Amino acid sequence: MAIKRIFTDMDGTLLNSQGRVSADNAQAVRASEIPVTLVSARAPMEMKEAIEALGLTGPQVAFNGGLIYEMEESRVHPLHTDIIPKQTVQLLLKSIRRAFPEVSLSYYDLTHWYCDTIDKGIRFEYDLTRQAPTLVNDSDRFLLGQDNTFKIMLLSFEEEEMQDLLFTRTGQRSPTYRSIMAAYREVYGEAAPVAVLEGIATEEDGYEAAKKLARERNLDCIFANGDDVAAGIFRYYQEQQPLPFLCGQENQLTSQLLGISTIDHKSYDLGRECFRQAISDERRTLVLQSEFIER
């Protein structure tokens, strides 16, 4: 079967340890004459160098699907957008700053990267992407966010903070997971501590994970990788001790019945529109907003 298009991650896959496309990779991609779409958590401005090195002209995916776009005369032309609602942005920024004041906090809109202090995390990201942030000198104004925020980024280099920022995941196969673990090894020279629980996919997995967590540390907040997982965590803490703030994902029936806060990413709608765009010659700009549902 002939390959019609290649979709590739960037960090930890296409790019080398300096965050650049090697000359050999660039030559191979150009010689293949197969259309290539980059799929990355990066912002368009952080993907521009790679796009130019590879000579790409078709649709590209930034912010892990939050933006599908093409470059036209060195400008970003959106084909699909999925921004974070401003109210959700403000809630997250203020909550993160209050709970984790030492964590490097920044965010992105379509064309800018914003921070309110130049810390170790900002310098690390600058060295990797060679893109300068927009410094907002007023912290209160910074925490208001932007009308078209696509991404909020947290960076930490302290082991204790890394453990407090806990994620549950189905497994190690996602590009995002591999990139985070590779970055940790590059900085510390060793594997990450138990900050990410793997193999978490069902309610029972969530229950067993919560049992492990309760023995090891006193968490204030848990972000689960699905509402079924969150339901298992909820069940354990309800039986044993006061429940930390718990947030699931995808707004499934379990979170609705148990009253668990969740993030509805509109994944079905996003997938449907992406596939429609892939087989259509018509250009459309669509907005699908993720929704934070606090219960």
pLDDT value of position 54: 87
Mean pLDDT of 92-104: 86
223 burial via Cβ count (<10 Å: 0-12, 13-18, 19+): middle
Does 101 map to a domain?
A: yes
Does 58 map to a domain?
A: yes
> Among 34-43, 69-78, 135-144, which range has the highest average pLDDT?
135-144
Other Cβ atoms within 10 Å of 191 Cβ, number: 9
Residues 17 and 47 in one domain: yes
pLDDT value of position 150: 92
Which structural domain range is residue 60 located in? 6-82+268-293
Residues 125 and 180 in one domain: no
Please say if the pLDDT value at position 206 is more than 90.
Answer: no
Does 281 map to a domain?
A: yes
pLDDT value of position 176: 47
Residues 78 and 96 in one domain: no
Residues 98 and 164 in one domain: no
Residues 219 and 169 in one domain: yes
Please say if the pLDDT value at position 257 is more than 70.
Answer: yes
Does 1 map to a domain?
A: no
Please say if the pLDDT value at position 178 is more than 50.
Answer: yes
Please say if the pLDDT value at position 179 is more than 60.
Answer: no
Q: Which CATH number belongs to the domain containing residue 129 in this structure?
A: 3.30.1240.10
pLDDT value of position 113: 94
Q: Which CATH number belongs to the domain containing residue 240 in this structure?
A: 3.40.50.2300
Residues 161 and 247 in one domain: yes
pLDDT, one tens digit per residue, over 56-68 is 888 999 998 889 9
User: How many domains is the chain built from?
Assistant: 3
What does pTM read for this prediction?
Answer: 0.55
Residues 205 and 126 in one domain: no
> Of the candidates 42, 67, 44, 71, which has an alpha carbon nearest to the alpha carbon of residue 55?
71
Residues 147 and 160 in one domain: no
Q: Report the alpha-carbon distance of residue 249 to residue 169 in Å, rounded.
A: 12
Mean pLDDT of 131-155: 91
| Range of lowest pLDDT (2-6, 73-77, 220-224) | 220-224
Please say if the pLDDT value at position 172 is more than 60.
Answer: no
Residues 135 and 193 in one domain: no
Q: Which CATH number belongs to the domain containing residue 40 in this structure?
A: 3.40.50.1000
Residues 224 and 272 in one domain: no
Residues 162 and 260 in one domain: yes
Q: Which of these three, 138, 153, 168, is where a domain ends?
A: 153
Q: Report the alpha-carbon distance of residue 295 to residue 292 in Å, rounded.
A: 10
Please say if the pLDDT value at position 265 is more than 80.
Answer: no
Alpha-carbon distances of 106 from 14, 246, 254, 289, rounded to whole Å: 25, 23, 32, 20
Average of per-residue pLDDT values in the chain: 78
More confident residue, 205 or 181: 205
